Amino acid sequence: MKTNWLALLGFILVLSGAVRAQERVTVDHISDLTVRLGHSAPLNFTIHIRPGFHVNSHKPITPELIPTEMFFTPPEDLVIAKVRYPAGEEMSFPFDPTNKLSVYSGDITVRAVVLPQPNASPGRYTVHAELKYQACDNNSCYPPKRLPVAFNVKVSSGAGRARARATRTSPHIHN
């Protein structure tokens, strides 16, 4: 009986890995970030688009196309700012060779910065985000998807260590 459960568990793990490998778009795990009060820290999202697929860029040429976008839900004490998307590549496809589309394919990086609010408390925060995209191949587009992303930000106090300063006073004691 125990062997059957282990075999079933192994099969489920292999199957879940195969399903993940079939995802058209994935986002790399974001390592924990540390940011000091009064400062900002860079934030990079590496997005992988499986070979044979593309997604519309953040600024599609045609307004009815679904742009690729990151949406953030940070805690009150954090701000995500200066979100920058790469330029799309203009390409035409067999389904309409006369028109070009602005798309992403392969690996792209979306950049931003994270900064604590001035009144933020030092501590660890979790930021939730969502990548919205619509994947297509050379023949058709698939329903739009939202891919959840979460990462941790540690806010440290802005005060650094006090540095000793040399003074011009005499080393002798004066009374």
Question: Of residues 80 and 172, which shows the higher confidence score?
Answer: 80
Backbone phi, then psi, for 47, in 5-degree steps?
Answer: -110, 130
Residue 89's DSSP bridge partners are 103
pLDDT tens for 126-165 read: 999 999 999 999 888 999 999 999 999 999 986 654 443 4
Residue numbers of the domain that contains 121: 23-152
**Rounded CA separation 101/81 (Å):** 27
Residue 31 lies in a domain: yes
Q: Is the predicted pLDDT of residue 175 greater than 70, yes or no?
A: no
pLDDT digits (tens, 9 = 90+) for 88-115: 999 988 878 888 999 999 999 999 999 9
- The answer to whether residue 167 sits within a structural domain is no
Report DSSP state, residue 44.
E
Q: Does residue 14 form part of some domain?
A: no
Q: Is residue 3 part of a domain?
A: no
Q: How far is CA 69 from CA 25, 35, 49, 58, 106, in A?
A: 13, 24, 14, 6, 16
Q: What is the tens place of the pLDDT at every residue in 61-86?
A: 988 999 999 999 999 999 999 999 99
Q: What angle do CA 125, 128, 129 make, to 5 degrees?
A: 140
Q: What is the pLDDT of residue 103?
A: 96
Give how many domains the chain has, as a whole number.
1
Residue pLDDT, tens place only, 15-62: 333 344 478 999 999 999 999 999 999 999 999 999 999 999 999 998
pLDDT tier at 9, thresholds 50, 70, 90: very low
In this prediction, residue 159 carries a pLDDT of 61
Residue type, 119: N
Element (H, E) at 15: helix 2-21
Measure the CA–CA gap between 84 and 111, rounded to whole angstroms.
Answer: 5
In a domain, 130, yes or no: yes
- CATH number, domain with residue 101: 2.60.40.1250
For residue 53, is it within any domain? yes
